[in-house]
Structures are given as C-alpha cells and as structure tokens.
C-alpha cells in the first residue's frame, strides 16, 4: 500500500491536497451555498427565514423601495447603492494612500544596510502584536474632541495666542480613512519590500552603466521589477478594506456606514439574515469583479513567490 | 582619441571598512596605464582588488586616494552614466522584465537615439554576437551562454571607448568558455575597442590578453605580456600563481650580468640560473624557480652543468602529459613530460624508484629575490 503510494505521484498530490480541500469545502463552499439560498428567502415577521425564491432582497439593495412619500407605490431609494459606492471608493482611496506611503518606506528599508533592515521590518510589525480592535480604539483616543491631537493643538495655539476650538475629527469619513490606512499599511510594506529587496544591486549598476540617471533607473528598472509587490499588496489591502466594519464602526460612528456595517446590522440589529446574505454576496461579487480586472491587467504578483 | 592611454590608474587606493570595523585597503597604491585598443587583463584570486579596480573605472566606486583617468580625463566623482565605458557584469545583470531587444535598446534610449537608429544598431549588435532572431525573447528563455552574449551585446551596442568585463565567462561550462574566449578576442580585434578583463583564471588571461596585471592583496605583482608573466615571473607569488613551479632555496655564490651560481643545500650542489630580480648580490638568500615542463629527464649523466641525480616517486598519466614526481636528495620536484610518443607500451613509463638524471637549462632556471 505504502509502496504503491510512493510510486504514484498523482495519488500523493491528491492526498496532500485533501485536508485543505475538506477544510475549504466545509468552511467556505457550504456556507457560501447556504448564504446564497438564504439570500433568496424572505424574512418572517419574527426574524426567521422563509425559504422561497425571490429577488426582493437584491431589488431592495439596488434602490427599489415601497416606502415612498406622497402615496407612490414604488420609488428609487439610493441608501444602499450609496453604501456600496462609499465602500468601493473608500477601499480605492485607502489602497492608493497605502501604496503611496508604503512604497517609499519599503524602498528605504530595502536600500538600508542589511543589519538595520531586520530592525526596521520588526518596527513595521510591532503594531500587529496589538489586537486590531484595540488599535482602532487608540485612534479614537487620538481623534476625539478631548483627544491627544486636540489637546496638543490646543497647547500650541494657546502658546501662540490663537483662539482654538477643538476640531471635530472623530466620526468623519476622514477618520475612517486614516484608521484604514493605519491598519493595512504593513500588508503593503511587506510585499513591496520583498520584491524590492530581490532586485540585485548589479541591475541598478547596469542601468547607471548604460546611461540612466537615478530617476530613469527608478522608472525603467526599479518600479517595473517591484510591481509584483505592489500588486500583491493591493490584493491584501483592497479586499479586506471592502469588507471590514470595525474601523468604520468605531471611527465613523453612525456617520460612515459601509457594506460591512450594513451586513453586520442586518444580522444582529435588524434581524434580517436574508437581506444580510444578499448584501454579503453583492460585496463578494463586487470585490471579485474589481480583483478580476485588476489582476488581468497586472497579474497576481505571483513573481514574488516564484522568482 | 585624445590620449595615448584609454584608461589610467594613478596611485589609486580604495579603503573599505570591514564588518569588524577595521579599515582595509582593497586596492593599495595601484598604478597602471592601459593603451588604446589593448586587451588588458587583471588577474588574481578573489579579494586581490581586481574587481574593485574595475568598478572604480566604471564609476561604481570612487578611489579613496589617487585618480582614475579615462581618455586622459580625471574622473573624480563622475557617475557611471556619464562615463564612456560600459560593463559586462559577472551575473550579466540583464533586465528580466524586458525582452532581449529592450535590454539592448535601453542604453541607446538613454542617449536619446531615434527609433530607427536603435533598431539598426540593436540588429547589428545581435548579429555580432550571433543572436539574430532572439530579440523578442525574455532573458529567462535563453541559455546561460546566450544570456552572456546578450550582456555583451548590451554593452557593445553603446560603442564604448572601453569595455569592462568582470569575469564574464565565469558561469559558463569549460567548453563554452574556451569558445567564448577566442570569440571575445576576435571581437576585440575586429572592433578595436579597449577591453579591460577581470578574471581569476590564469589560462583565460594568457589566452586573450595583450598584457596582464597579476594582482594580490590590492597590489600589482607584475604587469606584462603573457610571455613575460609566464617565462619571467618577477617574484615567487607570480611564479606560483601562474602555471606551476618548482622552488629551490639557496644562496648566491657568484653573480655576473646574466648568470648566477646558487648553492642549493637541499641538492648539496650548485645550480646555475638567470638572475631575474633587480639588485641581487653575492651571498644573498634567493629562491630558484623552474617550471615543471622545463626540466629534462635523462637516463644518464651528460657532461653538463645543472645535472642532478633523483629517483622517481610517482608518475601520473594525464593524456597530453605525464607528470613525473621525483626526489633529489630529499628535495621533491615535479616534472611534466609531454607525451610525444605513444605510451601504449608500459615500459615507456618511468618506474617508481627508478634513478634518473634531471637537467636544468640555465636560461629557464630563474633566480628570484626571497620573499
């Protein structure tokens, strides 16, 4: 039996892939199918699921409303479409901002003396030792009206004799953006660093040797060769930002509602799992579409793993 | 070409700080003049300063002291992209994200060349290295030898005054390397460009170079033509590093212009040789150097000077030569005998313990200063 397995490469492969396959099937495929079934159902008055086949939840999500003024039977309510759009644009802005902050830092670390690189990488990773939620709360302490930033600004303004009213920073879209950028920065720094660090010094020298100054070397050699890192980082940042609800919940309050918050509230507050399921699937489809077009253009950043 | 010399290093020193914090001179007061159109090699083992010297010509490193001149102009801190030299890197340093064509076009685009001109020049360069038709491939789709040619073409397409080659054949297998050596030499003669070639392979340096700088510990040990470096090594290091040598320790008994008589205690005899080092005097302790292929084995004593009795301790047949190891009064010597006759008959070999006479020609017996 063992002897036969030793000779049979394809059986070996199957055996090795089995645990993951079972895991994914039980914890991903089955729940997804259940979510799909529930999303076509209807909520009973006491919050249970009535299994039917109706597109009502999806129609509602895209703005069809029966709760209209002046006795109209149906009208367009942009509430949920706005939430979807807001999530998409926030994820986009976060990703762009994270890239523009992470790239220079990753470049700096990759070009630093090898002895110091580990220290810098360690410093990048330190925040990840603290719980995600606690880190978001820390931002609340910084941003709120009586928070650290306003206190320090107050001192400075006071010393300069400028009248100062504390800034309203918490519960704004800006606060959510800052929180998201902060939370996901390491996930962009690491892959970009990895791809930059792999570029051999002799390639920079070759570019210089062939007549390229440092700007041209960066644009023609460094940037293209580090794109796999940027792509991998984008996937690692964009997808979670699309779905997360903790940052917007804590730093956005009731002001900044994202798809994640919508789904959470449908399941917990509104007790409408059918609508929550529909929103979950739409979120997934939106993310897949964006990722699909993005990776078709730039690849998966697989060179990071392969090269 | 305004200057007689394509490249000149004048009293160049390059110091590095080692990881332990000590200062170390990788290149230690090196002066050399490389003529226009010359195939010049820097030869030495790793850490001898040859690559650092080359990198200072390319502009990747700047001298701590001294000055590098290219075409008579002091380079100072001129960056690499403003120097009229191009480098073929040991690792090839090809841009993996670009095709062969784009790799070659890169340097021309940096010059601001027009598209039509780029196409023409890239095509010609690829033809020169026999890679026509490969222009759309990525470097990864090429063999090691082909990648090496791309690296060469990428540097040559810029038509530099001086081409710097940093162990460019190091990664190739022996046969390909030998082919490329001859090809590089032919290319250099055809183009008339100055080549500065860094290698640790003495045979490679001898094969290709017009002149060789043998380096060790950051210093030039000898600078000369392949024949000079091999036939007249200026010290024991060079004699030992290039080819193989037998060394005998002795004391000068008498010396005249081109002949020195040295008493060798090991042989308990006087050896007549040619003084190589400057300023040798009577009574001085010296090292005698003689190449294994320059010792003749005779089976009886001829009436001649420089004949010594020895017994054979081992023989090794290696096809082209037979290596004969002998013991002369306790002094171990190696003698290479070319197999000009077929050795099919076992009797044609020396037997272990066989008594032979060794004959040293005075003009091949080099008397060197003791290190």
Give the per-residue pLDDT at A10.
84
Domains of chain A: total: 1
B72 C-beta neighbours (distance < 10 Å), count: 13
Residues B29 and B108 in one domain: yes
pLDDT at position A301: 62
Residue that is last in its domain, among B195, B217, B237: B237
Instruction: Tell me whether residue A58 is in a domain.
Output: no
Identify the three-state secondary structure at position B213.
Answer: strand
What percent of chain B is modeled with pLDDT above 70? Answer: 99
Residues of chain A short of pLDDT 50, as ranges, are 304-307
From CA B333, how far away is CA B291, in angstroms rounded? 10
The alpha carbon of B90 is separated from its chain's Cα centroid by a whole number of angstroms, namely 16
A18 belongs to a structural domain: no
Residues 6+ apart with CB under 8 A from B94: A206, B103, B139, B147, B150, B151, B154
Which of these three, B237, B265, B292, is where a domain ends?
B237
Residue at A136 is within a domain:
yes
Return the percent helix, strand and coil in chain B, to nearest 5. 25, 35, 35
- Give the minimum alpha-carbon distance from B19 to chain A in angstroms, rounded to a whole number: 10
Q: Are residues B219 and B254 in the same domain?
A: no
Residue B328 is part of a domain; what is its CATH number?
2.40.50.100
- Determine the Cα–Cα distance for residues B87 and B152; give it in Å rounded to an integer: 8
Q: What is the 3-state secondary structure (H, E, C) of A85-135?
A: HHHHHHHHHHHHHHHHHHHHHHHHHHHCCHHHHHHHHHHHHHHHHCCHHHH
Q: Tokens 């000779």 correspond to what residue? A: A7
Instruction: Provide the pLDDT for residue A77.
Output: 84
Q: B207 with B289, same domain?
A: no
Chain B interface test: which of A113, A114, A210 (most B C-beta within 10 Å): A210
pLDDT at position B2 is: 60
What's the mean pLDDT in B242-246? 94
In a domain, residue A30? The reply is no
Question: Which of A177-186, B2-11, B75-84, B198-207 bottoms out in mean pLDDT, i.e. has the lowest?
Answer: B2-11
The total number of residues shown for chain B amounts to: 371
Backbone phi and psi for residue A215, each to the nearest 5 degrees, phi listed first: -65, -45
Q: Name the token pair of A50.
A: 């009535």
Is pLDDT at B297 greater than 60 in this prediction? yes
- Contact call for B80 and A216, based on CB within 8 A: no
pLDDT of residue A302: 56
> Sorting pLDDT into bands at 50, 70 and 90, what band is B303?
low
Answer whether B226's CB lies under 8 Å from B203's CB.
no
Q: In the predicted model, is pLDDT for residue B29 greater than 60?
A: yes
The arithmetic mean of pLDDT across residues B75-102, rounded, is: 95
Residues B286 and B172 in one domain: no
User: Count of A–B CB contacts within 8 Å?
Assistant: 62
Mean of pLDDT values over B15-31:
91
Shared domain check, B157 and B200 = yes
What is the ipTM metric for this complex?
0.86
pLDDT at B255: 92
Strands (E), chain A: 42-43, 49-50, 64-65, 75-76
**What is the number of residues in chain A?**
307
Domain span holding position B255: 244-369
Residues A296 and A294: their CA atoms lie apart, in Å, by 5
What pLDDT is recorded for position A99? Answer: 97
Give the model confidence (pLDDT) of B316-348 as tens digits.
Answer: 999 899 999 999 988 999 999 998 888 788 778
Structurally, chain B folds into a number of domains equal to 2
**pLDDT at A5 (0 to 100):** 78
Q: What is the mean pLDDT of chain B?
A: 93
What pLDDT does residue A255 have? 81
C-alpha to C-alpha distance for B82 and B56, rounded to whole angstroms: 13
Q: Which residues in chain B touch residue A216, judged by CB atoms under 8 angstroms apart?
A: 110
Boundary of a domain, candidates B237, B270, B291? B237
Interface test with A, best of B58, B99, B108, B110 (most A CBs within 10 A): B110
pLDDT at B268 over 90: no
CA distance B86 to chain A (A): 6
pLDDT classification of B258: cutoffs 50, 70, 90: confident
Residue B351's alpha-carbon distances to A58, A287, B83, B110, in angstroms, are 99, 84, 62, 68
Q: Which residues of B359-370 are buried (b: 16+ CB within 10 A; e: fewer)?
A: bbbbebbbbbbe
Q: Strand B194-199's sheet: what is its strand order? A: B85-88, B162-166, B194-199, B39-43, B211-216, B219-224
Residues 217-246 of A with CB under 8 A from B: 220-221, 224-225
Residue in A206, A212, A213 nearest the CB of B89: A206
Does residue A44 form part of some domain?
A: no
CA angle A76, A78, A80 (to 5 degrees): 120
Spatial distance between the Cα atoms of B104 and B74, rounded to a whole number of angstroms: 29
For the sheet containing B355-360, what is the strand order? B295-298, B355-360, B307-317, B321-328, B331-338
What is the β-pairing status of strands B269-275 and B366-369? parallel
The CATH number of the domain where B172 resides is what?
Answer: 3.40.50.300
Q: Is residue A35 part of a domain?
A: no
B9 & B140 share domain: yes
For position A2, what pLDDT does the model report?
Answer: 75
- Round the CA-based radius of gyration of chain A to a whole number and report it: 25
Q: What is the CATH number of the domain that holds A207?
A: 1.10.3720.10
Residue A131 structural domain = 81-306
Q: How confident is the model at residue B141 (pLDDT cuts 50, 70, 90)?
A: very high
B195 plus B82 within the same structural domain: yes
Q: Which residues of B141-162 are buried (b: 16+ CB within 10 A; e: fewer)?
A: ebeeebbbbbbbbbbbbbebbb
Both B37 and B132 in one domain: the answer is yes
């Amino acid at each position: 039996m063992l002897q036969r397995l030793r000779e049979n490469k394809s059986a070996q492969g199957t055996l090795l892939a089995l645990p993951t396959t079972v895991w994914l099937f039980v914890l991903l495929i089955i729940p997804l199918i259940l979510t799909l079934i529930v999303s076509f159902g209807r909520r009973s008055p006491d919050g249970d699921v009535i299994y039917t086949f109706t597109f009502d939840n999806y129609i509602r999500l895209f703005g069809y409303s029966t709760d209209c003024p002046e006795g109209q039977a149906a009208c367009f309510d942009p509430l949920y479409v706005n939430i979807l759009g807001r999530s998409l644009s926030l994820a986009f802005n976060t990703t762009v901002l994270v890239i523009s902050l992470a790239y220079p830092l990753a470049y700096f670390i990759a070009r630093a003396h090898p002895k110091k690189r580990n220290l810098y990488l360690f410093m990048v990773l330190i925040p990840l030792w603290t719980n995600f939620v606690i880190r978001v709360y820390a931002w609340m302490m910084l941003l709120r009206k009586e928070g650290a930033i306003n206190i320090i600004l107050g001192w400075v303004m006071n010393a300069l004799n400028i009248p100062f009213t504390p800034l309203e920073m918490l519960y704004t879209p800006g606060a959510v953006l800052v929180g998201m950028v902060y939370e996901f920065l390491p996930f962009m720094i690491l892959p970009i660093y990895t791809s930059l660090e792999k570029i051999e010094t002799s390639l920079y020298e070759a570019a210089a040797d062939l007549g390229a100054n440092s700007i041209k070397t960066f644009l023609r050699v460094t940037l293209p060769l580090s794109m796999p890192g940027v792509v991998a980082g984008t996937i690692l940042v964009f997808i979670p930002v699309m779905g997360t609800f903790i940052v917007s919940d804590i730093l956005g309050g009731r002001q900044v509602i994202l798809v994640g918050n919508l789904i959470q509230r449908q399941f917990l507050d509104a007790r409408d799992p059918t609508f929550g399921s529909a929103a979950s699937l739409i979120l997934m489809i939106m993310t897949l579409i964006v990722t699909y077009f993005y990776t078709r253009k730039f690849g998966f950043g697989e060179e990071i793993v392969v090269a | 070409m305004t200057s007689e010399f394509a490249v000149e290093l004048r009293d160049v020193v390059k110091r590095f700080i080692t990881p332990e914090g000590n200062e170390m001179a990788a290149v230690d007061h090196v002066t050399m003049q490389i003529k226009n159109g010359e195939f010049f090699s820097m030869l030495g083992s790793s850490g001898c300063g040859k690559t650092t010297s080359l990198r200072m010509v390319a502009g990747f490193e700047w001298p701590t002291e001294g000055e590098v001149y290219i075409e008579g102009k002091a380079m100072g801190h001129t960056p690499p992209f403003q120097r009229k030299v191009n480098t073929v890197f040991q690792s090839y340093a090809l841009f993996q994200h670009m095709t062969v064509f784009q790799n070659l076009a890169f340097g021309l685009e940096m010059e601001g060349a027009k598209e039509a001109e780029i196409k023409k020049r890239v095509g010609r360069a690829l033809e020169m290295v026999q890679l026509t038709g490969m222009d759309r491939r990525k470097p990864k789709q090429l063999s090691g030898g082909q990648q090496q040619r791309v690296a060469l073409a990428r540097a040559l397409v810029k038509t530099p005054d001086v081409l710097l080659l940093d162990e460019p054949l190091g990664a190739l297998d022996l046969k390909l390397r030998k082919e490329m050596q001859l090809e590089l030499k032919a290319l250099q003669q055809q183009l008339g460009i100055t080549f500065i070639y860094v290698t640790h392979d003495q045979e490679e340096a001898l094969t290709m170079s017009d002149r060789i700088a043998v380096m060790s510990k950051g210093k030039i040990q000898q600078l000369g033509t392949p024949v000079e470096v091999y036939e007249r090594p200026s010290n024991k290091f060079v004699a030992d590093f290039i080819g193989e040598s037998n060394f005998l320790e002795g004391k000068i008994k008498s010396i005249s212009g081109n002949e020195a008589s040295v008493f060798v205690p090991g042989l308990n005899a006087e050896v007549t040789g040619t003084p190589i080092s400057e300023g040798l005097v009577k009574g001085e302790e010296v090292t005698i150097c003689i190449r294994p292929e320059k010792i003749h084995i005779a089976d009886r004593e001829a009436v001649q000077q420089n004949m010594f009795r020895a017994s054979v301790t081992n023989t090794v047949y290696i096809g082209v030569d037979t290596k004969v190891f002998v013991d002369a009064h306790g002094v171990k010597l190696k003698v290479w005998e070319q197999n000009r006759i077929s050795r099919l008959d076992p009797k044609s070999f020396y037997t272990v313990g066989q008594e032979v006479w060794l004959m040293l020609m005075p003009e091949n017996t080099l008397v060197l200063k003791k290190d």
